[in-house]
């Protein structure tokens, strides 16, 4: 980890996390797990391909049905339990709530995490 990153010295709340500047200039995604910021590793080629294809298929399906539901890649989601200290980033989410411009997905109806095999 780069010495330029500014990890907090205390457990963060979701509000603090959303205002936090990590100092990271790589464009990496971060999530908050149990009050600790966690940099997410870049997706592998198979993982990214599955994510893109899944989002495409879901989007086409939702468009064909009509209605307000939409697919979001890597949405920020605050879980119902321990919500003050967790802001997680699943691979794909679906919501039927109107776009809000917020950094968090409101009212997710489907969340998908693509599991990768452990390194060998």
Domains of the chain by start residue, with CATH: 14-112 (3.90.1570.10)
**Whole-number Å distance between alpha carbons of 13 and 81:** 13
The pTM (predicted TM-score) of the whole model is: 0.83
Contact 97, 27 (CB under 8 A): no
pLDDT tens per residue, range 82-115? 999 999 999 999 999 999 888 999 899 999 999 9
Helix intervals (H) in the chain: 14-19, 45-65
Q: Is 5 strand, coil or helix?
A: coil
DSSP run (H or E) holding 94:
strand 92-95
């Amino acid at each position: 980890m780069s010495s330029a990153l500014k990890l907090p010295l205390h457990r963060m709340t979701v509000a603090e996390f959303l205002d936090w500047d990590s100092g990271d200039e790589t464009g990496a995604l971060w999530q908050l797990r149990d009050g600790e910021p966690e940099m997410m590793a870049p997706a592998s080629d198979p993982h990214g391909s599955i994510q893109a294809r899944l989002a495409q298929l879901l989007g086409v399906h939702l468009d064909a049905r009509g209605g307000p539901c939409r697919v979001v890649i890597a949405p920020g989601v605050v879980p119902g339990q321990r919500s003050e200290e967790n802001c997680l980033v699943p691979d794909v989410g679906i919501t039927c709530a109107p776009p809000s411009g917020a950094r968090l997905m409101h009212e997710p109806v489907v969340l998908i995490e693509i599991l990768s095999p452990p390194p060998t």
